[in-house]
Each structure stands twice: as C-alpha cells, then as structure tokens.
Amino acid sequence: MIITIRQDTNSEDRAQLMALLCRITGSQRPITTTQMHEREVIAIDSALVDAQAQIALQAQNAVEQTHSLTTPYQLASRSFQSENTSITIGSTTDCTPVTIGADSSQPVIMAGPCAVESRDQLLTTAQAVKRAGAQVLRGGAFKPRTSPYQFQGLGIEGLHLLAEARTLTGLPVITEVMEPGMVETVAQYADVLQIGTRNAQNFPLLLAAGRNSKQLPVLLKRGLSSTIEEWLLAAEYVIAAGNPNVILCERGIRSYDPQTRNVLDLSCVPLLHQLTHLPIMVDPSHSTGRRELVPIMSRASIAAEAQGLIIEVHPDPNTALCDGKQSITPEQLEKIVHETAMLARMMRGEVSVA
Amino acid sequence: MIITIRQDTNSEDRAQLMALLCRITGSQRPITTTQMHEREVIAIDSALVDAQAQIALQAQNAVEQTHSLTTPYQLASRSFQSENTSITIGSTTDCTPVTIGADSSQPVIMAGPCAVESRDQLLTTAQAVKRAGAQVLRGGAFKPRTSPYQFQGLGIEGLHLLAEARTLTGLPVITEVMEPGMVETVAQYADVLQIGTRNAQNFPLLLAAGRNSKQLPVLLKRGLSSTIEEWLLAAEYVIAAGNPNVILCERGIRSYDPQTRNVLDLSCVPLLHQLTHLPIMVDPSHSTGRRELVPIMSRASIAAEAQGLIIEVHPDPNTALCDGKQSITPEQLEKIVHETAMLARMMRGEVSVA
Amino acid sequence: MIITIRQDTNSEDRAQLMALLCRITGSQRPITTTQMHEREVIAIDSALVDAQAQIALQAQNAVEQTHSLTTPYQLASRSFQSENTSITIGSTTDCTPVTIGADSSQPVIMAGPCAVESRDQLLTTAQAVKRAGAQVLRGGAFKPRTSPYQFQGLGIEGLHLLAEARTLTGLPVITEVMEPGMVETVAQYADVLQIGTRNAQNFPLLLAAGRNSKQLPVLLKRGLSSTIEEWLLAAEYVIAAGNPNVILCERGIRSYDPQTRNVLDLSCVPLLHQLTHLPIMVDPSHSTGRRELVPIMSRASIAAEAQGLIIEVHPDPNTALCDGKQSITPEQLEKIVHETAMLARMMRGEVSVA
Amino acid sequence: MIITIRQDTNSEDRAQLMALLCRITGSQRPITTTQMHEREVIAIDSALVDAQAQIALQAQNAVEQTHSLTTPYQLASRSFQSENTSITIGSTTDCTPVTIGADSSQPVIMAGPCAVESRDQLLTTAQAVKRAGAQVLRGGAFKPRTSPYQFQGLGIEGLHLLAEARTLTGLPVITEVMEPGMVETVAQYADVLQIGTRNAQNFPLLLAAGRNSKQLPVLLKRGLSSTIEEWLLAAEYVIAAGNPNVILCERGIRSYDPQTRNVLDLSCVPLLHQLTHLPIMVDPSHSTGRRELVPIMSRASIAAEAQGLIIEVHPDPNTALCDGKQSITPEQLEKIVHETAMLARMMRGEVSVA
C-alpha cells in the first residue's frame, strides 16, 4: 500500500502518522518517505493493513490518499506512477548533466573501460569516448571478481582518477559500489552508483544506496538469474529507502550455452516499460561477452526501446586487465553512437527515405 | 571432412569413390551428396579419415578437393561456404516466389494463424496478411500440443485449405510436419516444411526432410533448450541428407522466469551469421508469448540482422483455438511490415534525416 | 474428465456412447479406451464437457461413472488412481519376467551398453550384467546422435542381437525406438520400448507406442528441459492411446554448469510419487555423464524412492563407440546391485545394526 | 600457486618474502597467510609468477615449497590437500562442540526455525530440535528477503535470543550475516557464520568472514545459479583471507519448473568430494520448498555422501512468519535423525540383514 502525504502537513500530524505506521507494521526499521513526482509517499506491505487499520490511516490528517496495488512492488510500479521517471545525472559535480527517461531523450550512452587501470589509460579512454559521442564515463574502481587472485581494481585511487577524468572531459561518472560501508565514499566521487549483478539481492547495499546523502541515481543491474519481479523488488528496496532515482540495466542472464557469456534478454525491455516507470538500459558488453556482437546488439537494444546503453571501451582491448574480450574500440563506439541516434530518430518518425 | 566432386566425373569414378567412402566410414547408411553453390559435395566425420585414408581419397579421380573443418558441423559452416545461402520459396507452386538470404533481400515476413481452424478463418486471415504485406502464409495443419486433449489441427483437410489459400492469394505456404512418414504428403501441399521446436532433435524427421523429393526448403526452429552447436548439427542432418535449403528460426529458449513464455535469444542471430551461411529468422510470437511485445521485438529482431520473421496473426485473437494470447491482428502486422522494411533500408544506408 | 465403462456393456450401448463422445469432442481422432486396474476407461478434455453434455454422458447405459480432475493429465494422475501401477516386463518372450512398481518390489536394475556394437560385445556384456545381478538388458540398436557423423547404431541387426542375448541370458530387453513407423518392428524384438529424451514431445511417436499391438511397456525418459507437467502429459498421450504400461525415467535436465552433462533432479522422484501412480526410475549414467558418480548417485536415487535404475555398462568403457565416459564396468555394477538391494531392505525396516 | 612457509621462519625472512610477493602480485591488498593442516601457506595467482619470479621465490629462506595447480582455486583444492578438512563447531562458547568433515563423523544435523520470531518460539523450537537429536541450532536474526515489505528478522535481539537458546540447550548456533560491517557483531554470538545464497559472490562479505577475529567456521551456501567453480572460488576468498574453516552447503539451483522452488543438485556432492577437501552439507528445505519432500531428500543427501543437513523446523509450520511451507515438525526431524544415522552406519558397513 502506498500512502501519499499532504504537502502542507505539520510536524505533529506527521508524527502521529509515523507512530500509527510503526504500530501497523511492527517494524524495527524507521519509516522512510520517498519523493515521487513532487509527492511525498510511504510504501508498506498491504497485507499488514486490515480493514480497521485502513480506516485509521485514511482518517489521519497527514494522509492525502492511499493506494493498494496487487503487485509485490509498489513504488516501482507503473500502476502507481503512469508517467516515466526522468532522472538527471551529474547535477552535483563539474560536468555536463544528462537526462535519462524523459520521453524526448536521445539514447544515453555510457562508455569506458571495465576497470580503471592507470591514469594514462583512463584519461585517454575518457577523451576518446567523449569524442565518440558518449555522454557518461564508466570505469570500475572496485571490481567484483570471481577469483580472489584476479585484479580487484585500484580502489580509492581509481575514484580519484575518475573525478579527474570528469573534470577533464565534462562527462559525469558511473562506478560500482560493492559494500554498504563504502556508499558514502563512492558517492563523493561518482555521479551514478552502480550496483552489479552479483549484488542484485545484497539488501543492505540496496538500502545504503537508497539512503545515500546526495540522492545520487542508482544503476541497478539485473541479477545473474533474477526474475523480473525480483529485480523490481530490488529497485523497490532503493526507492522505499528514500531514493526514487533508479535506472534498471539488463546485462544478460545465465543460461546453458557456452557460446555466449550470458543470454541477453531483450524482451524484458518492453515488458519492463509496461510494469514500471523507471528508465531501462542495456549492457551489450557483459551480456554477450563477445566484442563483435556489441554493435549489432546495441542497435537491437535501442530498437527494443532501451533508453540507454553501457558499453565497455578500451583503447587497446587486447591488453585490458579485465574483460578485454568484450571491449570495443573508440572507433566502433562512434559508429554505435551515430547509428543508435539515427534509429531513435526513426522510431520517433523523424527520418524519411533518401 | 568435406569432399568436393569433380563436375565431369564419370559413373565409374564416382562408384569407386563411393565404395572407398563406405569402407572408410563403415556406415550402413548410403553415402549422399548435396549440391552446395553448384558444387556437389559429401561430408563425413573427419575423425574417421586417418592419414592413409586421406591420401587414398585425394588420389581418387572423382575428387576435386577435400576440406577438414574443426567444427562438428561441416556443410552448415561459414568456414566451408563464405557466401550467404539464398533460398527461393515457392518456385514449384502457383504462387509468387520469395527469396530469403540474399544480401539485397528485404526482410521476409511469414504470417498467419497458429492453427488452420476452418476454411473461413484461414481464407480471411490469408487475405488480410497478404494485404498487410506478408510474403508467406503460415498455418498449422498438424499441431504438436502438450496435452493429448488439446486441439490437434485439421490434418490433411488443413493442407487442402492451405493450398486453396495459396491459390487465392499467391502467397507461398509454410506448415509443420511432425513425422517422417508424413513428409511426402505435406510436401505435396507446402512450399516450406517447418520442423518445430519439439522435433529439433527428431533425427529421422530431419533426415526425411533432407530427402524430400521436391527439395522444399526446411525451416528449422531451435529446440526448447538447444545449444547453437546442437542446432547447427540438426541443420547438418538435413543438408548432409541432400537438401541444402535450410532456414534457421530462433523462437525463444526455456528459462526460469514465468513472465514470458520463453527467452528470445536475439544475440544468437549475429552469432549465427558468423558461424553459418544459412538464412536466419526470428519468431517473436512463440518466444514472448505476449502479443503486446510482438511489434517491438519484431523491430529488434531485424535490428539484430534477422532476415525474416514468422508471426502469428488471427483476425480475432481472443477466439483462437490455439495461442490466441500471442496472436496479433492484421492491422498490427501491417505496421510491423512497414516499420521493419524502413529499418532494413536504414541499415543499408538508404534513409536520411527528414 | 475420465469416464469409466460398465463391465457388462453391450455393443449397442458402447456404440451409442462413442457417438456421443465424438459429438462432444469434435475430434477427428477415434475414441480409444484404456484398461486401468481392470476398469475400461476413456479420458477427454473436461473443458469440452458442459453441464448439458455431462448430464447426457451420465445418462448413458455404458457409463459407470465420471471423474473430473483439475490436473491437465487425467489417467496418469494419482487423484484418479490411488494405488501404484505395477508393470510386468518380459511376459511375452523367452525370458524371466520382472515386475516394477509393486509395493514389495526390489529395485529393478536395467543395464547394458549404450549401443549394441557387435555380437561379441553384446553377448559378453549381457552375461556380465546378468552375473552382476541386473534384471533387464539395455542396448541401443537405433541411436539418436547429436551429429549425423557419429555412430548411429546397428539398426535391425542390433535388434536381432538383442533377441539373441535375451535367449542366452533370460534377461528381458529394453531398446529405443525413434520413429512411429518403426514401433511395430522394434516391438517384435523388445520387451520394453524406450522413448528417449529428444523424443519426449514427439507426439506421433508417443501415440504409436501407446497403440503398439503387444501393449509392451514404454519407458519414457524426461525431456532435456521438460517440466513435470509436460512429462506427465507425454505419459498421458501413451495411456490415452490405450497403453497404461508407462514407466517414467528421470535422466537429468539441462542446466548451466559444464561440470556435469546434466543436472540430476532427484527431488522429482518423491514429487512424482505424489502426482502419479506410474513407476519411476532414474538413469544415473546420462544425468551425470561421469562414471565415477554413477555408484553414489545410484544409491541416492534408491534413497529418493526410485523403483529402478538404468545404467550403462561396458566391459571396456574406454573403447566404447558411444558414451564410454559414463559407462561403468560389470564389477562396479555388481556392487551397485548389492548396495541398492541392501538400502531398499533398510527402507522397508528389514535390517538392523550389526 | 601455493607457497608453504617454513615452520621456523624468522621475522626477517618472512618480511623479505612478503616484500617479494608484493612486487610479484602488484596487489594493493596485504598478503595473508592461512593455516592449513598445521602448515602456514599463501596462495597467489600462478599467472603472475613467471620463471624468474619462481626462482626468486624458491630461493627465499622463508619458503619451504611451492605448488602450482591448474584449477583457478588453490587452497580449496583436493589437489593441494588430499585429506578431508575436519572442522570443530562450538569450541569457543558454552555448548557441546560438534565436528564435521572427519572420516568417522556421523551426519551433522543443523535444525531450527527459518527466522527467530520470538523468545518463546525460539526456546521451544531449540529444545524440541535438541530432543529430536539435532547437534546445531539454526535461526535467522538478519533475514535477506526478496521484498522490502517482508519480515526482515529481529536483528540484534535475535542474536541475544540465539545465545540464550545455546545456553539452555548446549547446542552451538549458526546464523546468517549479510554485510561486512556486521561480521564481528554476529561473530560475538554465533558458532558458525552463514553466508546465504544471495551473497554467494558478495566478495567484501566473504573477505570479512575470512578475517573474523574468532576464526569461526563459515557455512557458504551455493549461489542461486553458481557453477561449481564459482562456488569453490568463493570458498577460496574466505580461505585466502586466513580462515580455512569453510563448510559448503548445496541448497538448490534456479531452474525452469515451478513445481519446486529450486532444483536440488545432489550430484554436486560426490563431485565436490573429488574437487575439494572441504566438508559438504545439503539444505533439503530451501532446495525443494516443500515440506513433504524434506525427509526423503534428507535420506538421499546422506546417500550421496553429504556430511550434514541444515533443516528448517518450526513447532507450528503453518503459522511461521517465514518459509512455513517448507518447515517440518520436530517429530519429523526425529525420524530424519534416526534414519540418516542408520543409513550412515550402513554406508560404513556396520549393519546387517535382520
């Protein structure tokens, strides 16, 4: 159930509502509100609200209205919010902000190396992806690696380099955070907090990202074998903790065929547009794991109505410390930027036959 | 190993080669040849050909050359045939033939009802899909159904109706064949033999389709959980039996999320273009199982370089005896035809900004 | 809906019922009856029977009673038949019959080579598995192989050799049939018809096996990615065609980890015992694909209440033409026979601490 | 590569080795050593050690010997340590310690409620599982829940109750830890740290558990769709961080059939015994999600050579706040304890026919 709070509520009425909600939910966790399209809302489990509790809630001065949804996710649901969520990236740092999710937006291209390897590698790549037309710089400072013996990223030093690359290029920066205790540190440097596929159900991390003090947008990758519902519930954790700025990113799901690293589930994009108002992106690099498939699957993703792409680019993919096999060159990126922009215009009816 | 036969081989040299091949393979099955781009070829298991056998083969008058490939599939491999296979559909019946796989081809749209239900339903739908711009009529006469108590199709009567619809509209006809003993019967009426996902490894059926007396093209759907390699080996069964006219069709693979019927694996399209010279289509109806996703995934399929689509269309989807939930209307089909043609032109550089 | 026919029905009443059923089902396919525990029954789709049709059916002289079940499978359901189905194998040939499914039965061990390779190999193996305690001889004459270039079995010659091995050892014989047109031929030689995983939804084959003139038992392997419901509906095809003697065999399902060939889903065994009255076996050879796991997983299968095992045995696994990697030796089989018999006795409360 | 350190190494030689290793690995992370069967060892990525580095390492006074393994996991590998790892649970608190992994051990049964719900519920259940023969008490204080609106556990209060239940019953306690920052807190109360399936690749958590100051054993559940190799690499994270006391626990993997919650992959148990020296347990509750399957799959797990079971027990499963559908009663647990003990004796040759 979603409870919308009156805009002019006084602190006494608000306190009374919070006390009632604590009694209803019996929860240890403090009640948090989220700002959704200029309304302040609270979501709680509908099952806890019996008829009597519902009457009590609706009688509260602080309550404007209540909605009961049948989906387990509430605030993330299209049934609750019919208009698309539009998110601005980069509004708090020295960069050119970018908007994702607005109806008129061009596809947002995030690009850069899998891992920040060195100052030289990062700055070179950042300038190259800027020239190629990317709007956001990606780069891993903390890398979740399957083996403890693989390169784990440069850590804090990597964050410093990302901030430097932002200043140099004006591109906002997205980077991964792996543990709740590091959210505030990463949020000092990043413009978007990325939560990776292995942390798709790391609930303390989702809550911490939801509470990050700058309300930075969170890019939430789909878990390796998450259902659509599990994924939207992960988004719900972030939103219910107070942060409505969640971007979903499909990155392939585990399947049985060793030919590709994962199976890119593009059908989930239009399906998600039905179910949720959140922006949806695709990662064609991790999903396929093969660089020669990246340009074609980038185009197919936009055709499937993805609102952005996150792509691994390396100036010299064969020497990359991480995921070189799936990285493309800046030249290939430029073609993707051009082609997807053209396709997006065609989909809006802005092109005609030569 | 693939053995190419000299064009001017006499019957004696040919017989000597066949006798040698029987000794090498120790096979009960007769040696068959396939016509591939105007060359007559034979494929056998490379592992059976030791150094001595290879010398003996190359010394044969009938042998022009031998190729050894490292993939388990031989004749289906791009390594063996670099140019795309172009297949003409409908050359033996009273219809307008269509070509798939040639570099210059427009996307081939096959459309029609899941099952032939009645004369009226079929003829109405056939005319509607013709008007909407489809080039091939689909319709099931023999239906593989999960339960013995579901509608199993009209059988032979359905074949008669399909032939009547072809005469009426000029559209070539594709329909499914489910057992080896029915291949010749279905081939009397159809222009393309469809082999369904449940028969993707029905080897006697693949062999019978490979030997059909009219060399009708075979549309081979991917098995419910086939790997790419298993699928190409199924194609190899058809080709090695003498019929090079195989069209591959991705139709979704089994996965864990109940939200969609299957997961459409679009990345397999560009991957297959690397591995094989055969034409590749996509079925956006069975893969998603949700009609509202069909138009968007049709567009994404063409963006992923599919060369055709097979789509379920029903004049009144809600009353369909079979798969109504995933059938679209003729009006929706018309939009898909228009949009995918436009996209294909854009991909060939033929459109410009308005 | 299941209709039970009165035992003393005369031919006129029976004909009247059949005519009514044809009108109700509108089916092209002839109505078939199945003998279930001494009752003659007919199953039809409950959805076709409206209130009026139900009254008409119950008014028929030939009808003893009607049952409506909510599962899509009817005759295979435990709700319809609460007692276990007990099936006798080998009652029509020169061998020692074996019973599977009766409450008091010992585990039935079927063993032998993946493929019949030669007279010597088969007879040697047959005598060895007999000595080791197996009760049924397995061996493939027709082999479904992923590649057209792999050994495809000896065909009819293989059937002759199996019959010879039966005469020699007294063991009933199980072998695979791959196409409807071969069912009667294979049924001349075999005691159990095996339908393989790739044909789990080959409906013409299931119907043909259901109609085999000797009512030979059918061992129905689970499809590579069949759900439990799809599998029971495949069994329903066989039973509704007139043959109640179906044995289910779990053989592993497709999954994502290349370490084992498939994932053996042992939990399905007790689950199936709830849902169906049919006997259930396990194939620990194909499921794991690793011979060193076969003895342990054989024991675990019996612990999970499997009523039999089908195991690949080869006198010299390393030289086997097919699946040698998963074949065990006769010596290992003997230990399995001993250990599983002991375990089964323990599970019946017949052993005590030494 | 694994480097074994001489037992009598002085601090100077040790420091020299560490400096060399820092140069070789170029790692930010401090070099940690692990005590494995009375030898102090260090594992590093073999790929970083070229011929020259290897000579330099072997020349170090502090180095006893070096091993290079071909598996990506090193310390967890059976190739490195052939004898089974035996782990004592409960040696630091007021309880009766239990050993798992020793060759002579009885199956270790861990049982208790999914979540600690109240003092009364926990103490009642703890006494009941003790009476039923369980050796370890399980209970969740911090619960990872798919939805933010589900019961999330009692938190610290739950830990206090678990400690009280231990004092009352003498049973060591296992409970889940969900974030690195809570490891030391949970370690104050627990005897085993459980890492759940959703955190199977939460690398900061694995490292923190590996460094817990009491070296408490870590029970590492398999990820929802972890491969065997990914799972062993997760164990390697814990061990390489200094804690060799890792217990693996199979709990079912994601699959496509909605009939069971997950597919219990029992074949992984004997496979793991080949690949690793770590103890292996099975969770028959989460894997099946159906209480009626728990007793049978418990027996099958022991038959597959699992060394322990972790089972959800609730005095009144139908009122459980969490996972009641898969919880069994104390009476059912008692039968499982009896039956699995009997089976384990049979497997050691200690029973005979009555």
Burial class (CB in 10 A: 0-12, 13-18, 19+), D112: buried
Q: What is the mean pLDDT of chain C?
A: 94
A258 has a chain C CB within 8 A of its CB: yes
CB atoms within 10 A of CB D329: 15
Dihedrals phi, psi of B176, to nearest 5 degrees: -85, 145
Taking CA atoms, C77 is separated from C97, C270, D104, D256, in Å, by: 26, 14, 44, 22
Residue B47 pLDDT class (50, 70, 90 cuts):
confident
d(CA C298, CA C308): 9
Q: Which residues of C touch D258 (CB under 8 A)?
A: 227
Burial class (CB in 10 A: 0-12, 13-18, 19+), B113: buried
Q: What percentage of chain B has pLDDT greater than the value 70?
A: 99
d(CA C11, CA C8): 10
- Written as one letter, the residue type at B39 is R
Rounded to the nearest angstrom, the minimum Cα separation between B200 and chain D is 19
Contact C69, C29 (CB under 8 A): no
Q: Which residues of D touch C227 (CB under 8 A)?
A: 256-259
pLDDT digits (tens, 9 = 90+) for C244-266: 999 999 999 999 888 878 999 99
D259 has a chain B CB within 8 A of its CB: no
Taking CA atoms, B322 is separated from B190, B221, B334, D194, in Å, by: 21, 19, 22, 49
Which residues have CB under 8 Å from B187's CB, separation 6+? B177, B193, B212, B213, B214, B216
Residue ranges of alpha helices (H) inside D133-267 are 156-169, 183-189, 203-210, 228-240
Calculate mean pLDDT across residues B191-202: 98
Q: What is the pLDDT of residue A142?
A: 95
Q: What is the pLDDT of residue C319?
A: 83
Dihedrals phi, psi of A115, to nearest 5 degrees: -120, 145
Checking DSSP bridges between strand D39-43 and strand D34-36, what pairing results, if any? antiparallel
Helix (H) or strand (E) holding D353: strand D351-353
Number of H helices, E strands in chain D: 11, 15
d(CA A256, CA A261): 10
Neighbours, chain A (3 or more CB pairs < 8 A):
B, C, D
Read out DSSP for A178-201?
Answer: -SGGGHHHHHHH-SEEEE-GGGTT
SS3 for A216-238 is CCEEEECCCCCCHHHHHHHHHHH
Q: What is the pLDDT of residue C28?
A: 62
Residue C353 pLDDT class (50, 70, 90 cuts):
low
Contact D158, D190 (CB under 8 A): no
How is residue D203 written in tokens? 């690398």
d(CA A194, CA B233): 41
pLDDT digits (tens, 9 = 90+) for C209-246: 999 999 999 999 999 999 999 999 999 999 999 999 99
Contact B158, B141 (CB under 8 A): yes
Q: What percentage of chain A has pLDDT greater than the value 90?
A: 82
Q: What is the pLDDT of residue A321?
A: 80
d(CA B260, CA D37): 51
B258 has a chain C CB within 8 A of its CB: no
pLDDT digits (tens, 9 = 90+) for A90-146: 999 999 999 999 887 789 999 999 999 999 999 999 999 999 999 999 999 999 999
B20 has a chain A CB within 8 A of its CB: no
| Statement: residue A354 has pLDDT above 60 | no
Give ∠ CA B277-B279-B280 in degrees, rounded to 5: 120
| SS3 at position C352 | strand
What ipTM describes this predicted complex?
Answer: 0.94
Q: What is the pLDDT of residue D104?
A: 76
> CA-nearest residue of chain D to B256?
D256
| Statement: residue D354 has pLDDT above 60 | no
Q: What is the pLDDT of residue A322?
A: 79
Which residues have CB under 8 Å from C70's CB, separation 6+? none
Q: What is the pLDDT of residue A28?
A: 62
| Statement: residue B89 has pLDDT above 90 | yes
B264 has a chain A CB within 8 A of its CB: yes
Q: Which residues of C touch D222 (CB under 8 A)?
A: none
| Statement: residue B204 has pLDDT above 80 | yes
Q: What is the mean pLDDT of chain A?
A: 94
Neighbours, chain C (3 or more CB pairs < 8 A):
A, B, D
d(CA D38, CA D15): 21
| Statement: residue D108 has pLDDT above 70 | yes
Rounded to the nearest angstrom, the minimum Cα separation between D257 and chain B is 7
pLDDT digits (tens, 9 = 90+) for C118-135: 999 999 999 999 999 999
Which residues have CB under 8 Å from D130's CB, separation 6+? D137, D169, D170, D171
Q: What is the pLDDT of residue B354?
A: 52
Q: What is the pLDDT of residue D274?
A: 97
Contact A158, A141 (CB under 8 A): yes
C146 has a chain A CB within 8 A of its CB: no
Q: Which of D259, D292, D305 sits opposite C228 (nearest CB)?
A: D259
| Angle separating helix axes B294-303 and A268-275, nearest 10 degrees | 140
CB contact under 8 A, D181 and A178: no
Mutate to test the interface with C, among B149, B154, B207 (most CBs of C within 10 A): B149
Checking DSSP bridges between strand B351-353 and strand A351-353, what pairing results, if any? antiparallel
Rounded to the nearest angstrom, the minimum Cα separation between D253 and chain B is 11
- Written as one letter, the residue type at D84 is N
Q: What is the pLDDT of residue B96?
A: 97
Residue B316 pLDDT class (50, 70, 90 cuts):
confident
Q: Which residues of C touch D271 (CB under 8 A)?
A: 259-260, 290, 293
Contact A75, A240 (CB under 8 A): yes
pLDDT digits (tens, 9 = 90+) for B121-171: 999 999 999 999 999 999 999 999 999 988 889 999 999 999 999 999 999
Better-predicted residue by pLDDT, D253 or B103: D253
A265 has a chain B CB within 8 A of its CB: yes
Neighbours, chain D (3 or more CB pairs < 8 A):
A, B, C
Checking DSSP bridges between strand D218-221 and strand D192-195, what pairing results, if any? parallel
Taking CA atoms, B318 is separated from B323, C120, D163, D175, D178, in Å, by: 9, 61, 60, 52, 48
As a dihedral over the C-alpha atoms of residue D147, residue D151, residue D156, residue D160, rounded to 10 degrees, the angle is: -140
CB pairs under 8 A between A and C: 6
| Statement: residue B319 has pLDDT above 90 | no
pLDDT digits (tens, 9 = 90+) for A264-311: 999 999 999 999 999 999 999 998 889 999 999 999 999 999 999 999
Q: State the distance between the two ends of chain A, measured CA to CA, in whole angstroms.
A: 53
Calculate mean pLDDT across residues D134-159: 94
Contact A202, D198 (CB under 8 A): yes
pLDDT digits (tens, 9 = 90+) for A193-212: 999 999 999 999 999 999 99
Between B260-264, C72-76, C199-203, the lowest mean confidence (pLDDT) is in B260-264
A29 has a chain D CB within 8 A of its CB: yes
Question: In chain D, positions 200-229, which contact chain C (CB-CB < 8 Å)?
Answer: 225, 227-229
Helix (H) or strand (E) holding D42: strand D39-43
How is residue D19 written in tokens? 């400096």
Q: What is the pLDDT of residue B28?
A: 62
Contact C262, D268 (CB under 8 A): no
| DSSP code at position B143 | -
Q: What is the pLDDT of residue A260?
A: 79
Q: What is the pLDDT of residue D110?
A: 98
d(CA A252, CA D245): 34
Q: Which of C227, C258, C300 sits opposite D304 (nearest CB)?
A: C300
How is residue A226 written in tokens? 């998450």
Contact D162, D175 (CB under 8 A): yes
Better-predicted residue by pLDDT, B70 or D168: D168
How is residue C249 written in tokens? 């065999």
D255 has a chain B CB within 8 A of its CB: yes
